[in-house]
Amino acid sequence: MLVTGAGGMLGRHLVPVLRQHGHEVVAADRSDGDLGEPTAARRVVRDAAPDAVVHLAGGPGERPEEMRYANVDTVRNVLTAAGETGRPHVVVIGSAAEYGDGEPAGGLIGEDAPLRPVTEYGRAKVAATVLATDLAQSLGIPLTVARPFNVVGARPPARTPLGNLSAQLLAQDGPERLVRCGRLDVVRDFVPATFVAEALTALVEGRHLGVVNVCSGIGTTPGEVLAAMGAVLGVEVRVEPVPELVALPAADRVVGDPGRLAALGVRCRPTSRDLAELCLGGGQA
């Protein structure tokens, strides 16, 4: 089995889980080649000769062209290479950002919901999903598109909303701490990275095809997690909104329907306290 992007947060969690399940894993990261280049992607896939590929490589970037290169071009090259190397089952990582505006009525977002991304990253992921689906059909490759919602690891990167909040709190001392941030009222489906690794393992082993939301079905606001962080640390948190952050485009509510994943026996119900402890480094990643 080949796992691309193995050096990233999800890869660092997924590879050990797959090996614990008895899979022989080839873990490829940036040092093994730039998957945005067709020749490098062909070599990585050919050398691994995998029976399955979990394509984690990709992610956000500073500019739209960077995001398309990291997410769309790598998908094109990996699937094309897979079509030349035994047509293994390929799991491509999408994103909840593809759904964009979500469900205004406050319901759960199913896999068949319309894709209405509001960010450049979401648009890049939609393009990657559409391309992967078309290529898999034309090349005869079994394909799964896994759409993780808001993934949280221990001490998440400061560029993420919860990572920004926890980093600011941990950088200060004293009983009262100031957090400068954007909106805290948006509702998101936060899921631990360990849960995502478990879900991806189930999808690979079950050879489940089609689109699957990797989510909990539980809506939580960053404000609720921030309050729980304050409780964990035993401090009073004061919030100062930053106008340019508040103005960033963001859907009001994005909470997934976990039904398809639950049918595989994989479930997750994190509380605000669980997420707070994880962000502060005291919980399970």
DSSP E strand stretches across 128-235: 143-148, 150-152, 176-181, 187-188, 190-192, 210-214
Domain assignment of residue 249, yes or no:
yes
Domain match, 196 and 61 both = yes
Q: What per-residue confidence (pLDDT) applies to 159?
A: 85
The CATH number of whichever domain residue 69 belongs to comes to 3.40.50.720
Domain match, 70 and 160 both = no
Domain match, 143 and 40 both = yes
* DSSP secondary structure of 221-268: -HHHHHHHHHHHHT-EEEEEE-HHHHTS---SEE-B--HHHHTTT---
Number of structural domains found in the chain = 2
Domain match, 20 and 90 both = yes
Domain match, 181 and 75 both = no
Residue 62's φ and ψ, nearest 5 degrees, are -75, -35
The CATH number of whichever domain residue 164 belongs to comes to 3.90.25
Domain assignment of residue 45, yes or no:
yes
Domain assignment of residue 233, yes or no:
yes
**Predicted TM-score (pTM) of this structure:** 0.92
Q: What per-residue confidence (pLDDT) applies to 102?
A: 63
Domain assignment of residue 264, yes or no:
no
Q: What is the dihedral of CA 29, 32, 36, 39, to 10 degrees?
A: -150
Q: What is the pLDDT along the chain (285 residues), one digit of tens a residue?
A: 999 999 999 999 999 999 999 999 999 999 999 999 999 999 999 999 999 999 999 888 778 899 999 999 999 999 999 999 999 999 999 999 999 876 656 689 999 999 999 889 999 999 999 999 999 999 999 999 999 999 999 888 888 899 999 999 999 999 999 999 999 999 999 999 999 999 999 999 998 899 999 999 999 999 999 999 999 999 999 999 999 999 988 888 899 999 999 999 999 999 999 999 999 986 444
Domain match, 8 and 117 both = yes
Domain match, 54 and 109 both = yes
Domain match, 37 and 93 both = yes
Domain assignment of residue 95, yes or no:
yes
Domain match, 14 and 61 both = yes
Longest pairwise C-alpha distance within the chain: 60
Q: What per-residue confidence (pLDDT) applies to 282?
A: 66
Helix (H) or strand (E) holding 136: helix 120-139
**Separation of alpha carbons 255 and 221, rounded Å:** 11
Domain match, 76 and 158 both = no
Domain assignment of residue 284, yes or no:
no
**Separation of alpha carbons 109 and 119, rounded Å:** 18
Domain match, 240 and 203 both = no
DSSP E strand stretches across the chain: 2-4, 26-28, 52-55, 89-93, 143-148, 150-152, 176-181, 187-188, 190-192, 210-214, 236-241, 253-254
Q: What per-residue confidence (pLDDT) applies to 103?
A: 63
* Structural domain containing residue 173: 154-187+218-255+269-279
| CB atoms inside a 10 Å sphere around CB 159 | 9
Domain match, 17 and 84 both = yes
Domain assignment of residue 263, yes or no:
no
How many residues are listed for the chain in this entry?
A: 285
Strand ranges of the sheet holding 210-214, from the earlier edge strand across to the other edge:
26-28, 2-4, 52-55, 89-93, 143-148, 210-214
Domain assignment of residue 124, yes or no:
yes
